């Protein structure tokens, strides 16, 4: 039995990954600053440590002797409403950088065999993502660096941190740049949710004949990868000899309005989209519309070449499965409000 640690296992991707690692027969220790909202501890791990990984003493305790692998997914993050408004920049950079500084050092001290680090497509230069139809997210396009958010800069810094630990201390690191991962049992409300969960929640909440808001003009493009595919890709990267950094995402690019239309179609309702941006957005929310870059799509050529991996689930299928979960959450919430 292999002993592994999942940092940030109380979160969306970390929770699913820890669950899969446990199901695969590993001994799994999870650490997070919060409990998982939708999984019980027993479902995802053998040990759950509630702790703050910005504290080096906690990290020294969590990364114990005898563990072979560390999966580092803990980060101060959220959707566009959290990382692109500018209001959380200092915390995002400070907290996530501290976690990574602590983890890299402790992994060397404890002789951890492999460390997985979850970077993000947000580290790609803004100037390569201005054309919504032709964004460039090839791994080699990362430099000269020019991410459009402090969240992206921290990811780039931490990628370099882990690579430096690899060069100087022979720490075996695997780095993936995730592109919008979604699925059930993730954040679906409260301001930290991502676009797929936000659209599906709005579709579930809006009555037939109603309308819901979509931030921006809706023409910005993105791709979205279903959680199970992400977990498979992470595990195959960890088992390979390839270190990355490599994209883990889908190449099925859609506009945000197309994503909203898909959510509406799945709900079976007749709902109109209201795009809100510019001055109207500012007047309503008090900050600039946080839509991020104009275009972004995963480029999977490197992953395909090194690991032979292909995305197998079309976006509509993942969205439909996620809708079922979110719709249940929405009806439970409204029921609780009525009672
Ligand atoms: P998430 O917010 O659900 O998970 C992150 C977890 O880290 C949370 O449970 C949070 O409580 C925990 N955490 C934050 N600060 C902590 C601290 N000080 N100590 C201990 N735990 C702490 O996010 P996610 O979507 O599961 O993302 C996981 C990783 O993947 C993150 O590093 C994120 O930046 C990266 N990523 C995610 C996506 C995506 O689409 N979900 C895209 C790109 C990159």
Q: What are the structural domains, with CATH classification, of the chain? A: 3-181+225-248 (3.40.50.720), 182-223+253-297+313-338 (3.90.25.10)
- Ligand 1 atom closest to Cα of 95? 18
Active-site entry in 67, 124, 151, 162: 151
Ligand 1 site, residue 13, Cβ cutoff 6 A = yes
Q: In the chain, what percentage of residues exceed pLDDT 70?
A: 98
Q: End-to-end alpha-carbon separation of the chain, Å?
A: 47
Say if residue 51's pLDDT is above 90.
yes
Say if residue 49's pLDDT is above 90.
yes
Tell me, yes or no, if 117 is annotated catalytic: no
3-state secondary structure of 204: helix
Residue corresponding to tokens 């005898």: 66
Ligand 1 site, residue 49, Cβ cutoff 6 A = no
* Average pLDDT of every residue of the chain: 95
Ligand 1 site, residue 275, Cβ cutoff 6 A = no
- Report yes or no: 148 and 179 within 8 Å, Cβ to Cβ: no
Ligand 1 site, residue 245, Cβ cutoff 6 A = no
| Helix ranges (DSSP H) in 194-308 | 195-205, 227-239, 256-267, 278-285, 301-307
CB-neighbour burial class of residue 332 (10 A; exposed 0-12, middle 13-18, buried 19+): exposed
How does residue 337 score in pLDDT terms, banded at 50, 70 and 90? Answer: low
Q: Which of 198, 191, 190, 189 is nearest to 224 (CA)?
A: 198
* Residue 336, pLDDT score: 65
Measure Cα distances from 244 to 109, 113, 166, 329 in Å. 23, 16, 12, 37
pLDDT by residue (tens digit) across 91-135?
999 999 999 999 999 999 999 999 999 999 999 999 998 989 999
pLDDT by residue (tens digit) across 250-291?
999 999 999 999 999 999 999 999 999 999 999 999 988 888
- Ligand 1 atom closest to Cα of 187? 3
- Ligand 1 atom closest to Cα of 77? 2
How does residue 335 score in pLDDT terms, banded at 50, 70 and 90? Answer: low
CB-neighbour burial class of residue 3 (10 A; exposed 0-12, middle 13-18, buried 19+): middle
pLDDT by residue (tens digit) across 167-202?
999 999 999 999 999 999 999 998 888 899 999 999
């Amino acid at each position: 039995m292999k002993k592994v640690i999942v940092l940030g296992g109380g979160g969306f991707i970390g929770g699913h990954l820890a669950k899969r690692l446990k199901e695969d027969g590993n001994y799994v220790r999870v650490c997070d600053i919060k409990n998982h909202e939708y999984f019980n501890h027993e479902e995802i791990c053998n040990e759950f440590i509630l702790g703050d990984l910005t504290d080096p003493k906690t990290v020294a305790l969590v990364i114990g002797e005898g563990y072979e692998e560390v999966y580092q997914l803990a980060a101060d993050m959220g959707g566009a409403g959290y990382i692109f408004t500018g209001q959380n920049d200092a915390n995002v950079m400070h907290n996530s950088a501290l976690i990574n500084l602590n983890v890299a050092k402790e992994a060397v001290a404890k002789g951890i065999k492999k460390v997985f680090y979850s970077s993000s497509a947000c580290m790609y230069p803004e100037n390569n993502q201005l054309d919504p139809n032709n964004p460039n997210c090839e791994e080699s396009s990362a430099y000269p660096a020019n991410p459009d958010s402090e969240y992206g800069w921290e990811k780039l810094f931490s990628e370099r941190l882990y690579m430096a630990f690899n060069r100087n201390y022979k720490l075996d690191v695997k780095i993936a740049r995730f592109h919008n991962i979604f699925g059930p049992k993730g954040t679906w409300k409260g301001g930290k949710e991502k676009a797929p969960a936000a659209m599906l929640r709005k579709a579930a909440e809006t009555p037939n004949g109603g309308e819901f808001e979509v931030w921006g003009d809706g023409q910005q493009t993105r791709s979205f990868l279903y959680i199970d595919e992400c977990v498979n890709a992470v595990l195959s990267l960890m088992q390979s000899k390839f270190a990355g950094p490599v994209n883990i995402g889908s190449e099925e690019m859609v506009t945000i309005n197309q994503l909203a239309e898909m959510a509406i179609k799945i709900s079976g309702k007749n709902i109109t989209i209201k795009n809100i941006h510019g001055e109207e957005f500012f007047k309503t929310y008090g900050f600039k519309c946080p839509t991020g870059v104009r275009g972004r799509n995963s480029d999977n050529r490197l992953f395909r070449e090194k690991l032979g991996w292909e995305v197998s689930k079309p976006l509509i299928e993942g969205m439909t499965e996620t809708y079922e979960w979110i719709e249940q959450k929405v009806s439970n919430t409204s029921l609780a409000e009525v009672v």
